[in-house]
Amino acid sequence: MNRYEIPENRFLNFYHFEVTTSTMDECENLIKSGVRSGIVLADSQTSGRGRNAKKWVSVANGNIYLSFFDVINEVSPINLIPQRCAVAAYSAVSQFVKNAEVKIKWPNDIFVGMKKVSGIIAKTMLFEGKRFYICGIGINVFPPEENGQKFVWEPTAVSEYCEVSTEEVLNALIKGADFAFSAGSAEIIDTYKHNINWMLERKIVFSQDLVHNEKGKIIGFSDDFSVVKIKTENGIEELSALSILSLN
């Protein structure tokens, strides 16, 4: 198992597993054991989680499967958690990919061109009267092993655009998360908005139940970007959860 020297950061503790079910699971276990803040990295996952109950392919090939967690301050609660995760992953990927456009796909995937390089899942958890946020980020440093897996979006990897190591991307991601969860709301909104406005006026095919597909055009977002506004043949829909199947 590789040993990583990580930069100083706000999350206090670092846990590295050769294999686990899911780094999100490990965060929950650590919270229940009394740990208030930390980063969990795994070389592979047997049950990696994606958004909308999808599986995140997690073989041990040098790709990053990482989650981090922290207690939420009741006096000054943190906001924009999915957006902060997106900014963290965006800052890590864009540090290395210089010859192609890196952008955020709502709500928090990272694309290079129209290919997916990073996926994110975020949640909160209540334990013994305290609320925690848990964020999982997967980054393809190297091309993922598909093994018959069908992807909604064609995957890509940071290494397809430059020579890079797992440790370099890992450290950039940790620095990105440290920044994103320390920055003020206005700075996060500005960064997020700048890198997601490319989606406006795009034709979209989407599903709310993973069964029935709908078509429309993206016309805007809510002020905090928690809701996407889509013009369909039935009118304007304002949605906080959906699976985007295509954009044109």
Is there a domain that residue 139 lies in? yes
Q: In which domain, by residue range, is 64 found?
A: 14-197
220 shares a domain with 99: no
Residues 230 and 128 in one domain: no
Do 155 and 191 belong to one domain? Answer: yes
Q: Does 218 share its domain with 182?
A: no
Are 119 and 21 members of one domain?
A: yes
Residue 3 lies in a domain: no
Over residues 6-25, the mean pLDDT reads 94
DSSP state of 162: S
Q: Are residues 141 and 241 in the same domain?
A: no
pLDDT of residue 22 exceeding 50, the answer is yes
Which helix (H) or strand (E) segment holds residue 88: the answer is helix 81-96
Contact 90, 81 (CB under 8 A): no
Boundary residue ending a domain (180, 197, 214): 197
Considering the domain architecture, whether residues 146 and 238 belong to the same structural domain is answered as no
Q: Is the pLDDT of residue 133 over 90?
A: yes
Would you state the pLDDT for residue 157? 97
3-class DSSP assignment, residue 190: helix
pTM: 0.92
Q: Tell me: the pLDDT tens digits for 60-113?
A: 789 999 999 999 998 888 999 999 999 999 999 999 999 999 999 999 999 999
**Helices and strands in the chain: count of H runs, count of E runs:** 4, 12
Same domain flag for 164 and 93: yes
pLDDT recorded at residue 144: 87
Output DSSP code: residue 98.
Answer: -
* Inside any domain, residue 79: yes
* Nearest-angstrom CA–CA distance, 29 and 144: 27
3-state secondary structure the chain: CCCCCCCCCCCCCEEEEEEECCHHHHHHHHHHCCCCEEEEEEEEECCCECHHHCECCCCCCCCEEEEEEEECCCCCCCCCHHHHHHHHHHHHHHHHCCCCCEEEECCCEEEECCEEEEEEEEEEEEECCEEEEEEEEEECCCCCCCCCCCCCCCECCHHHCCCCCHHHHHHHHHHHHHHHCCCCHHHHHHHHHHHHHHHCCCEEEEECCCCCEEEEEEEEECCCCCCEEEEECCEEEEECCCEEEEEC
Domain of 79, CATH number, reads 3.30.930.10
User: Which range has highest mean pLDDT (35-39, 47-51, 148-152)?
Assistant: 35-39
Q: What is the pLDDT confidence band of residue 53, given thresholds at 50, 70 and 90?
A: very low
Q: Which of 230, 233, 234 is nearest to 222 (CA)?
A: 230
CATH of the domain at 219: 2.30.30.100
Please report whether residue 23 resides in a domain. yes
Shared-domain flag, residues 188 and 102? yes
Kindly state whether residues 130 and 229 are assigned to the same domain: no
114 and 215 fall within a common domain: no
- For residue 1, being part of any structural domain is answered with no
pLDDT in tens, 229-247: 999 999 999 999 999 999 9
pLDDT of residue 49 exceeding 70:
no
pLDDT digits (tens, 9 = 90+) for 135-153: 999 999 999 876 656 778 9
Please tell me whether residues 35 and 148 are part of one structural domain.
Answer: yes
Measured in whole angstroms, how far is the alpha carbon of residue 103 from the centre of its chain?
12
Quick: pLDDT tens for 149-206.
677 899 999 999 999 999 999 999 999 999 999 999 999 999 999 999 999 999 999 9
How far is the C-alpha of 186 from the C-alpha of 43, rounded, in Å?
35
For residue 56, pLDDT over 80 is answered with no
Split at pLDDT 50, 70, 90, the class of 52 is: very low
If you ran DSSP here, which 8-state letter would residue 90 be given?
H
Contact (CB, 8 A) for 63 and 26: no
4 in a structural domain: no
Please state the domain count of the chain: 2
